[in-house]
Structure formats: structure tokens, C-alpha cells
Amino acid sequence: MSDDIIVSREDWGLHRKGYLDQNRHKEKVQEAIKKQLGDLIVDESIILSDGKKATKIPMRSLEEFRFRFDYNKKKHTGQGSKRMQDGDILARESQRKQGAGKGPGAGDEPGVDIYEAEVTYEDLATLLFEELQLPNLDDKKRPLIAHDKPEFKDIRKKGLMANIDKKRTLIESIKRQALAGKDQDLKILPEDLRFKTWETHPNYETNAVILAMMDTSGSMGQFEKYISRTFFFWMVRFLREKYENVEMRFLAHHTEAKEVTEEEFFTRGESGGTRCSSVYQLALEIIRRDYPPAHYNIYPVHFTDGDNIGSDNTRSLNLMQKLVDVSQVVGYGEILRTHYSSTLMSSLKRITDPKLRFVTIRDRQEVYEALKTVFS
């Protein structure tokens, strides 16, 4: 009996199925995150976890396309001999809901498989920060930073072995043996060695400063404070992740303004009335003392509930105009529970400079749009 040898060609494309399915799953997860990004960035489990916990989002189960037998033998499009006429009722809404299990009584239609995917702080930050940047950033405002940056720009015959250029060394060896007319194994001689050398030059970086200003008066309730801190939470992390040379100063105010630490800015509460001009005046003093506009990109951002002393609106308007004149962009946000803006915002809207960007937040999900409005 002769042995039969069977030669088969294996389809290696099948081995990539797991990899393709994994990539497709990641894309679907990212799509689900983007659709719910407005809700996720204000989730307390993310805000209060300092990036150490994850939250879960519902997603539809991802099934592979496949053919299956219709055991119920129901009529579908293109089947049957009945001709439809204009006005024929296909199904009533009540029947559709009952079939889906939403009406009174048990439904008989299959549902959609839902599972929960974990979302970490890093996942949210990656998608959120893709759309954010410091607007109107002026590269000309870049003083010399006190360190040098090395760059490999030259190739030499002598140097440290750690800096050897392998590609250039092989090329020199091949050229030498080709010119000598030798056809033998490649050998590298000391004369073939080539080394990378570097030159140092001053490292210039764009300087920018963010002045985070928050109203901490008695009129700021729990909702208003939470929304303000959520906005500044993502603002601080966005700036630290995307920009190396950005300074941040934190200012809190009621009737008086003062500079506080970052921890105090996000944790402490105050009481009393509201005089927004106090924080604008303090911001201008800090800019005048520490950040000359000729060398710094300046970004003041102020959040309040708009409940300002009426007699202070004119002074606030004049100081805000000065802030706009020396800044790249100024963000002014109000957290409101009504559909009417405050008298302070009405006064500030007399400034027609596009560098002043207004934001109104009435719902938690609008924090996402507020971030994109100020930092776009």
C-alpha cells in the first residue's frame, strides 16, 4: 500500500481574524465613548478618583455577520405574493413596543445584547484632548529656556562606540571593497567606522500662563461648584499633558480675590457676596508683575454663576476689556439654572472682540462643549 502525501496550502489570512476582530472591537468601544463623552467626563467616579478608577458604559454586543435559518418562517421584504397598497398598516406602535418588551405584558421579540465596557481616565483623556488646544498661540513669544538641546547633525570618523552609525559604517565597508574589486565576505575595518556627533543649541519653548478664576461666593451652590471644578479638572490635565511649559495660577474670589494653591482651589468653599471685578483686578496685577504680554501667551478663564453686585458690572466690564487686550483668549463661563443670562454677562457682551469667548452651562453634559468652545 503506497503512502499518499497530501500537500495543502494554508490560508494565513485566517490567522489575522482575531487581530481584525480585536481592532474592530476597539473601534466600536471608541465610538461608544465618543457618543457618551459629555456624560462620562462629569462622572464622579472619574473626577474624584484622580485617574485610578474606571467607569462602565453600556454597549451593544458585537456579533459577527452570519446566515441562520428562520424557524418561524415569517414573511420578509421580497417574499410572499400580497401586493401592498398605499395606506396599509404594517404594525402599530403599541404592538411594536409590546413585542420589544416595553409595553404592558411580556414581549415575544428578541432583544439586543448589551454589555458594559470599562472606561479609564486615560481612555477619556485621549479622546477629549484630541479636540483641545491653546488657541491663538503665538510662537514669537518664546524666551530662551535655560537648557540646551542636543541634535545629531554630523558624521565623523572618530567618536564613542555608543554613537556608532551602523548604516554609514556598512556603506563605507561596501564602497571600499567594491573599489578594490574584491568579491568576498564583508569585513569591517577601523577605517570604515563612522560615528554620529551632535551639536547643542538653545532650546526655545512657547511660554504660556493660565489664570484659573473661580467664584466661591455663597450663591455658588453644590451644582455650580461641581461644574466649575469639573471644567477646571479637565483643563488642568489637558494643559499638563499636551504642553510642557505652561504655568497655572489659581484665583478664588467672593467680594475679595486671592491667589490659592491648586489643592485649595479644588477643595475649599467660601461664603459671602460676589464682586467679580476683584478677581479681574488681581489677574491684571499678576500679569503686570510676572507675565509681560510681550513674552507670554496669557489665558484667563473665569467661571461664576453670574450673580454679581449690580453696581460692580461697569467696573467688571472695564477690567475685562483690559484683560482681553493683553490675552490670547479669555474664557467667561456662567453656570445657570434658568434660561436667562445674568446682568454681568449682558454687560460683558458689549465687548465685541472675538478673543472673549462666552460659555453658558445649564446641564452637566454641557461641560464638554464648554471645553471645546474655550480651547479650540
The SS3 call for residue 210 is: strand
Q: What are the start and end residues of each CATH 3.40.50.410 domain in the chain?
A: 208-374
User: Which amino acid would we find at residue 262?
Assistant: E
Q: How far apart, in whole angstroms, are the C-alpha atoms of residue 21 and residue 14?
A: 11
Nearest CA to 375 among 207, 238, 213?
238
Beta-sheet strands, E only, within 245-296? 246-253, 257-260
Instruction: Give the strand order in the sheet containing 257-260.
Output: 257-260, 246-253, 208-215, 297-304, 330-335, 356-361
Tens of pLDDT, residue by residue over 155-185, are 878 877 878 888 888 888 888 888 877 777 7
Tens of pLDDT, residue by residue over 3-33, are 555 555 555 555 566 667 667 767 776 676 6
Tens of pLDDT, residue by residue over 125-154, are 777 777 777 787 776 566 555 556 666 667
Give the model's pLDDT for residue 96. Answer: 46
Q: Which of 26-35, 49-58, 316-325 has the lowest mean pLDDT?
A: 49-58
- CA dist list (Å): 128 to 41, 132, 341: 9, 7, 28
Query: How wide is the angle at C-alpha 56 spanned by C-alphas 53 and 57, nearest 5°?
Result: 145
CATH T-level topology, domain 208-374: Rossmann fold (3.40.50)
In percent, the amount of the chain with pLDDT more than 90 equals 16
H/E stretch holding 370 reads: helix 367-374
**Does residue 302 carry a pLDDT above 90?**
yes
Cell of 224: 455650580
Give the model's pLDDT for residue 76. Answer: 55
pTM across the whole model = 0.64
Give the model's pLDDT for residue 97. Answer: 46
The SS3 call for residue 7 is: coil
Contact 283, 253 (CB under 8 A): no
